[in-house]
Chain A
């Protein structure tokens, strides 16, 4: 009963909000707030599927490659730093220094260093997205229960076994939260990196629409970004549930007791 209510709320809220927008904007003559019906019309004309491969795919490919690189580097580097606490102590300030720089501010520097091609966009996304995962990995590993460490020592597990069988699963929930934050950051920088260089991509098109007063196109770009962000998060959540099923199950069990 309660579950149906939640599902209804989850599906119903966006529908009600969209309907309210649709009704409130109908017949609007304000240039900056065109009717939603017109925005949706432009949405269909622009994104389904005229600019699909030329812009949407380009942006998404940058996002996926950048995020994947950030995930691998973040988890890998996090392991190294957590396993070598002394080194970790030394590089900690450096990590926090770079983490504190707003990633968007780094885009012009990347342009000067490596030009404005796809490499620049992916490098910007990766650099910005690596830190949440890195820090979460280090935190997760440092927080691993000492009994687990003792037990794995008693069983004489090799380093590889320890990492894969013990530490990675134990830090898994932490790493997953870090990856989720990384995904958000990667998404923001994906848009920001398109402000310079060839005007290709969803962010570049939306910006161009805004600057040339194609306001309905701008809104349709914003809607598309929202939808993509939502889907990306949903896919992530699905993956997380599958990988961390044991953890989610154990939490539920703990609550039930």
Chain B
């Protein structure tokens, strides 16, 4: 659901470390029967549910000790999960499908964040989508269709914002293959948008709020347009953890879903936790899109992403999703 500038080269480092697998320290039940799970997140306000689960003792009740660490970007987390450096890593469905497509053995353990069922979504989709496609104030571009041949800033190539914006352009009748994609971190993207160096920018909260404050125009909410509903951010585990610690992962599922459900009913409390975690002012989180924490993963939602990636040409063939859900 949320993308963060995955620009860091840190992923390469993790790949290098991935070679030294085998030392899966920390995991395994200790004398009192408590199992430690190492979870990597990318530092989003939706991590609030995981924090709530730890603070309210939902994981403790399941005899789990959760160690949270922040990773640079989803690919780095996936590499760490695959090698056993992390037991669980946060990844949106698109990087996960890219990894599965390259035969990285991963399983989806639970949902981390996503969208409510379509029927329950408000008319103004900006209220649920924390991503936005913006053009500068007074731009002649009024529809995503006009972006053919134009320059669009995104945080990383072939990642979530490029894919979702391509979909929006295609659905509006434009040709996404002619777009000139510019890799820019969000602050540079916003600055370049306002100084006219790019024609449009794909942004994520809190930068969407800053764009609106500067008078920029939201063309579309590409996240919800692409994903529709269901889980987007996922907790995934590598083969070493799924074979060694199946019981602990089941316990994690129960704990995180309890926390997700809690956050959906106690939104204000979780927004405060999210603000503390990300150091983003609470008012910006409250005024931005409201996070939804799904309490299950429906394979249909993942399959829809899979199909759309093929339709847009990002995958040459759909990924086989048999058995990708951890039971």
Contact = CB atoms under 8 A, between A and B. Distances in A.
A213 B101 contact: yes
B11 A210 contact: yes
A195 B155 CA distance: 10
Given A32-B15, A32-B82, A208-B158, A111 B181 contact: no
Contacts of A115: 192, 197
A33 to B, nearest CB: 6
A40 interface: no
B102 A198 contact: no
Given A197-B183, A208-B157, A213-B75, A31 B188 contact: no
B82 A31 contact: yes
Contact of A32 (B6, B18, B95, B188): B18
A199 interface: yes
B127 interface: no
B65 to A, nearest CB: 28
B75 to A, nearest CB: 5
A211 B180 contact: no
A116 B9 contact: no
B184 interface: yes
Contacts of A31: 82, 102-105
Contacts of B104: 31, 213
Interface residues of A, number: 23
A116 B154 CA distance: 13
B181 A116 contact: no
Contacts of B33: none
Contacts of B18: 32
A215 interface: yes
Contacts of A204: 157, 183
A112 B156 contact: no
Contacts of A208: 157-158
A208 to B, nearest CB: 5
Nearest to A206: B12
B181 A199 contact: yes
B102 A196 contact: no
B71 interface: no
Given A33-B19, A208-B157, A211-B158, A111 B188 contact: yes
Interface in A184-220: 195-199, 204, 207-208, 210-215, 218
Interface in B145-173: 156-159
B19 A211 contact: no
B189 to A, nearest CB: 10
A208 B263 CA distance: 35
B73 A211 contact: yes
A32 B158 contact: no
Contact of B102 (A112, A116, A213): A213
B45 interface: no
Given A115-B197, A211-B95, 20 more contacts: A32-B15, A32-B18, A32-B19, A32-B79, A111-B188, A112-B188, A196-B7, A196-B184, A198-B182, A198-B183, A204-B157, A210-B12, A210-B15, A211-B75, A211-B157, A211-B158, A212-B158, A213-B98, A213-B101, A215-B102
13 contacts: A108-B188, A112-B188, A116-B182, A116-B197, A195-B7, A196-B188, A199-B181, A208-B157, A210-B15, A211-B6, A211-B95, A213-B101, A215-B102
